[in-house]
Amino acid sequence: MAVSVVKGYSDEDAWRDYKKKYKLDYNIAGDNGKRDRARKKNFLAQMEQIKRHNSKKDNGFFQELNEFSVLRPWEKKRFLGVNASMVPSAEFLKSIPVFDLQSRQLPPSLDYRFHSCLPAIRRQGQCGSCWAFTAITPLEFSKCNITKSPVMLSEQHLVDCDTSNNGCNGGWYMDAWNYLKSKSGSAKRQLYTYTARKGACKFKSSMVGAQVSTYGYVQSKNTAAMQSALQQYGPLAVAINVINSFFSYGGGVYDDPACDGPDVNHAVVLVGWGNLNGVDFWVVRNSWGTGWGLSGYGRILRGVNRCNIESYPAFVKAA
């Protein structure tokens, strides 16, 4: 078998170091190394794709190896979680009133990443619960802004108990807020911990850490309205269309036009905007842990509805 070598560092070296970094062991008794070879094939193909992408001079973003680099496409889908059947129609979106912009000045940048009301990055794991994480973070931020004290709420409460959504099989953040508003509120995270799998509902009203006052959509495909809403309410829920290049995003401004189109399959939280080397971007908070992107955050091209990020923005306000 031919082994490629770059400056004394072979594919075998790269594979060994990758497994060591992520504490992976694919050796199974009696397997003869079959599983390891299969994962290595995925890894080398991804590494080659990343090298090709990063070698282009006009890239707006760069890619890197991470925990997704050995996964098959169907395995990566487990880390998404927007239920396409729950996404509002284009006709409905046209009915949303224009956000009040009259008295609001938009600064060149806004970044909530280091705000005291924004909790640390979390991991949804192999459970299609991004909708729950995207519903919870803006509610936590809003509640903290009222009480001036950080609050941590439970995604697992939604995964287990919200029957309008589908647990680890996907959902929609607006339906999650509707559930929380119609019930007693959102459970505290420490009283209803995350397991990355759907279980029996254990919610009790004594667990409540925040309640929903109001929620709604911001006008679709209106960047100024989204910026104004970010200033007024804090982080927003948005939906995007994730393709393979997004899984290996490492930095820069993500601008892969291949993610454009009518669909969305993942929910993230919008936490700011800015400009990098003349390129306008949104700052998004993902639910894939700190090993993805910019310590769990990413920048996506702003103003052209890249990956549908400007199609379904929504806000929530805590009681």
Q: What is the pLDDT of residue 6?
A: 52
Within-domain flag for 62:
no
Active site residue 266: yes
Question: pLDDT at residue 301 above 80?
Answer: yes
Residues 94 and 219 in one domain: yes
Residues 199 and 289 in one domain: yes
What are the C-alpha distances in Å from 166 to residues 20, 97, 126, 159, 182?
A: 35, 29, 14, 7, 17
Within-domain flag for 67:
no
Within-domain flag for 245:
yes
Q: What is the pLDDT of residue 7?
A: 61
**130 in Cβ contact with 238 (< 8 Å):** no
Burial of 177 (0-12, 13-18, 19+ CB in 10 A): buried
Question: pLDDT at residue 28 above 90?
Answer: no
Within-domain flag for 5:
no
Within-domain flag for 162:
yes
Residues 48 and 124 in one domain: no
Segments in 152-307 forming alpha helices (H): 155-161, 173-182, 223-233, 244-247
- The range of the structural domain enclosing residue 155 comes to 77-318
- Distance, CA of 315 to CA of 235 (rounded, Å): 8
Within-domain flag for 71:
no
Q: What is the pLDDT of residue 101?
A: 61
pLDDT band at 318 (very low <50, low <70, confident <90, very high): very high
Within-domain flag for 142:
yes
Question: pLDDT at residue 196 above 60?
Answer: yes
Residues 101 and 50 in one domain: no
Within-domain flag for 6:
no
**128 in Cβ contact with 81 (< 8 Å):** yes
Nearest to 126 by CA among 46, 198, 26: 198
Token pair, residue 219, equals 């006008």
Q: Of 117, 127, 130, 161, which residue is the catalytic one? A: 130
Question: pLDDT at residue 2 above 50?
Answer: no
Task: Please state, as a whole number, how many other Cβ atoms lie within 10 Å of the Cβ of residue 22.
Answer: 13
Number of domains in the chain: 2
Active site residue 27: no
Residues 40 and 128 in one domain: no
pLDDT band at 203 (very low <50, low <70, confident <90, very high): very high
What is the residue whose two structure tokens read 């709604």? 216
Q: What is the pLDDT of residue 1?
A: 35
pTM here is 0.94
Exposure class string for 264-296: b at 16+ Cβ within 10 A, else e = bbbbbbbbbbbeeeebbbbbbbbbbbeebbbeb
Residues 40 and 122 in one domain: no
Residues 48 and 187 in one domain: no
Active site residue 115: no
Residues 48 and 88 in one domain: no
**272 in Cβ contact with 283 (< 8 Å):** yes
Q: Of 117, 127, 144, 266, which residue is the catalytic one? A: 266
Phi, psi of 44 (to 5 degrees): -65, -35
Q: What is the pLDDT of residues 98-113, one digit of tens each?
A: 766 655 689 999 999 9
Q: Of 117, 286, 307, 308, which residue is the catalytic one? A: 286
Q: What percent of the chain shows pLDDT beyond 90?
A: 88
Residues 137 and 174 in one domain: yes
Residues 47 and 117 in one domain: no
Residues 166 and 32 in one domain: no
Exposure class string for 54-84: b at 16+ Cβ within 10 A, else e = eeeeeeebebebbbbbbbeeeebeebbbbbe
CATH of the domain at 208: 3.90.70.10
Which helix or strand (DSSP H or E) is residue 41 part of?
Answer: helix 34-55
Mean pLDDT on 49-65: 95
